[in-house]
Amino acid sequence: PPLGRILSLADMEAVARKVLSHKAEAYYSSAADDQITVTENARAFSRFFFHPRVMRPVGKCDASTTILGYKSSIPVFVCGAALAKLGHPLGEVNIAKGATTTSIIQMVSSNASMSPAEIIAAAAPSQPLFFQLYKNVNDAVAEKRVRDVERLGYKAICLTVDAVVPGNREKDIKSPWVMEDLERGSPKLHVEGEGTEDGDAVFGTAGALIVNDDRDMTWEKTIPWLRSVTKLPVMLKGIQCVEDAVLAAEAGVDGILLSNHGGRQLEYSLPPLEVLYKLRKQRPDVFDKLEVYIDGGIQRGTDVLKALCLGATAVGLGRPFLYAQSAYGEAGVVKIVRILEREIITGMRGLGAASIKDLKPEMIERVDWEPL
Ligand code: FNR
């Protein structure tokens, strides 16, 4: 369908699912075990309802904000997600260009299907990009990676901490790679080795991608190490409970992304929106020490606004950007940002908020009745 007919992120996903190869669809959409967490990530938003305020001037309404000091047109960023080329020949470049056009920040995956240099070259020089780091088990290799991306001009390091083992994503494991997928996917990916000696396929794509990652990271060792090799701000991606949010604040990182990796890692990890809600209730002091973000299951402007009312600085989206660039390339990326922007502004006006700082915890409640 013409792009003008796409009204929502759900419409975009429906188009993408028609054009993606079997493997790409399986890899992008898969989640751990029985898809409980991936489903609940999205459902969590339906338990929160607004207290809209009226008779407040919203004729002028501004949804722009800053993330780690960098301007963003809306409080949304692209989460680092691997292998964008599986969905479209221009892959991550589509996202870099679309993010530049719409002035939002792209977090580039350690497992992107293009090099960090190629991706940053596609963005305007003034457009900030962040780098998502899977820390190599070898400190020297990891250090080189960090120094390389800093030199290339990436503006923050987002260390992923929820992926010490690949999640059990059966849909991905069951779906075979064909030659065409391999050409489009990552050159690093050696999937021939997939499976055990007795022939059981157990790893899937994620297993092939994160083989050399550090499983022994600690608060005491890894954060000082990262600080010692870079001056860039540090975000931890994959904080999943209040206790670890507090430890992250004590460790002095600049931001935490409350995330369960889009439900792809530990099944029954709480939905990030619920973790955010608990953090706001139990430890509001943490929000004064660092920026808090969430990702997982965000589809609508109102979802974004709920997270912001609860104290998040911004939210990340993973699959929606992969789907959008698969369906329409760069234009698809621009389109979903415009859709979100319109939905966010509409929601802000309905709430009586003329700017991001007007979004407050008093504007939202968690209901105890079961929504539709
Ligand atoms: C991811 N995610 C991810 N995270 C990360 O830190 N490094 C990575 O390489 C990837 N790769 C990746 C691939 C695919 C196909 C998906 C769907 C996700 C997780 C991602 O950054 C983010 O946390 C989730 O995608 C957020 O959930 P939604 O928006 O997809 O529901």
The residue whose two tokens read 């904080």 is: 239
Expressed in angstroms and rounded, the spacing between residue 349 Cα and the centre of ligand 1 is 31
Indicate the helix (H) or strand (E) that contains 106: strand 105-108
332 lines ligand 1 (CB under 6 A): no
132 lines ligand 1 (CB under 6 A): yes
Active site residue 27: no
198-211 CB burial, b ≥16 within 10 A, e <16: eeeeebbbbbbbbe
Nearest atom of ligand 1 to the alpha carbon of 38: 31
169 lines ligand 1 (CB under 6 A): no
Q: What is the structure's pLDDT at 211? A: 76
Mutate to test the pocket of ligand 1, among 107, 165, 264 (most ligand atoms within 8 A of CB): 264
pTM of the model: 0.95
Could you report the per-residue pLDDT of 289-307, keeping only the tens digit for each?
999 999 999 999 999 999 9
Residue 189 in this model has a pLDDT that exceeds 80: no
Of the candidates 162, 172, 181, 303, the residue annotated as catalytic is 162
| Cβ-contact 85, 184 below 8 angstroms | yes
Q: What is the structure's pLDDT at 177? A: 83
Active site residue 261: yes
Q: What is the structure's pLDDT at 278? A: 98
**ipTM at complex level:** 0.99
In this prediction, what percent of the chain has a pLDDT beyond 70? 96
Residue 190 in this model has a pLDDT that exceeds 70: no
Q: What is the structure's pLDDT at 197? A: 53
Q: What is the structure's pLDDT at 201? A: 55
Nearest atom of ligand 1 to the alpha carbon of 263: 27
Distance from the first to the final alpha carbon of the chain: 30
Q: Is 292 strand, coil or helix?
A: strand
Mutate to test the pocket of ligand 1, among 109, 161, 294 (most ligand atoms within 8 A of CB): 109
Nearest atom of ligand 1 to the alpha carbon of 209: 9
Compute the distance between CA of residue 316 and CA of residue 260 in angstroms, rounded to an integer.
Answer: 12
Of the candidates 27, 28, 244, 261, the residue annotated as catalytic is 261
Nearest atom of ligand 1 to the alpha carbon of 110: 9
Backbone dihedral angles phi then psi of residue 234, each to the nearest 5 degrees? -115, 130
Active site residue 162: yes
In this prediction, what percent of the chain has a pLDDT beyond 90? 86
Residue 194 in this model has a pLDDT that exceeds 70: no
Expressed in angstroms and rounded, the spacing between residue 263 Cα and the centre of ligand 1 is 9
81 lines ligand 1 (CB under 6 A): yes
Average pLDDT over residues 17-45: 96
Could you report the per-residue pLDDT of 198-207, keeping only the tens digit for each?
555 556 888 7
Which of the four pLDDT bands, split at 50, 70 and 90, describes residue 371? confident
Could you report the per-residue pLDDT of 319-335, keeping only the tens digit for each?
999 999 999 999 999 99
Compute the distance between CA of residue 361 and CA of residue 235 in angstroms, rounded to an integer.
Answer: 24
Nearest CA among 340, 268, 265, 269 for reference residue 308: 340
237 lines ligand 1 (CB under 6 A): yes
Atom 14 of ligand 1, residue of closest alpha carbon: 81
Q: Which are the contacts of 367, defined by CB distance < 8 A and separation ≥ 6?
A: 47, 48, 49
Average pLDDT, the chain: 94
Could you report the per-residue pLDDT of 205-225, keeping only the tens digit for each?
887 787 788 999 999 999 999
Could you report the per-residue pLDDT of 348-359, keeping only the tens digit for each?
999 999 999 999
Q: What is the structure's pLDDT at 192? A: 53
Of the candidates 27, 134, 293, 328, the residue annotated as catalytic is 134
Expressed in angstroms and rounded, the spacing between residue 309 Cα and the centre of ligand 1 is 24
Q: What is the structure's pLDDT at 202? A: 57
